[in-house]
Amino acid sequence: MAILVLVRHGQSIYNLENRFTGNLDIGLTPLGKEEARQTGIKLKAYQFDRAYTSMLIRAQESLRIILEILKETEIPIVKNIALNERMYGSLQGLNKDETTHKYGAEQVEIWRRSYAVCPPDGESLAMTYGRTVPYYQAEIEPQLKLGKNILIVAHGNSLRALMMYLENISPQDISEVNIPTGLPRVYTMDIDLEILDVKYL
């Protein structure tokens, strides 16, 4: 049996400012750091063999805090661009309310939540899936098959892509899925990677 835990990083400065962040390298707010600490506390019952995160500081910092709380700072940590947030193109850095006023709520919602539609000059969730899921299959699934417990701290859209794959969520239904910051999603799997249980902590 193996445990896989997915965690979206704690609140970032751009989350607080209601801006599109994408793959801009934005740090955590004090609340974001506290969310990471609370995540660590929620995960006290688990022991991890390896952790994965993106190349972006808000995910790396969240992971660092979680592992400090768990006293597991010596486990291997793998950082890879495949786990980065999707690139929001020309929307990155813009205020979401101002963008909604300019383009309309329906259009902005399509850019944010749809599977196939790209934001201007940006990356669709389908494109994110195309880099995140193959990386997961190649690098993380073999660890789970060995019975390793794995922690992934990443971003809303790279984790939505993984949830699609793990839970067989359709492109239509994924538009309704929003992953909160700092809330661990725990998968219990057998050695054939069949999911025995899934829950938020």
Give CA–CA dist 104/107, Å, rounded.
6
b or e along 51-72 (b: 16 or more beta carbons within 10 Å of the residue's beta carbon)? bbbbebbbbbbbbbbbbebbeb
Contact 93, 121 (CB under 8 A): no
Residues with catalytic function: 9, 85
CA distances to 23, 43, 61, 148 from 131, rounded to whole Å, are 14, 28, 22, 23
Where does residue 18 fall: left (phi above 0), alpha (psi -120 to 50 degrees), or beta otherwise? Answer: left
CA distances to 49, 93, 102, 129, 170 from 66, rounded to whole Å, are 14, 27, 39, 26, 31
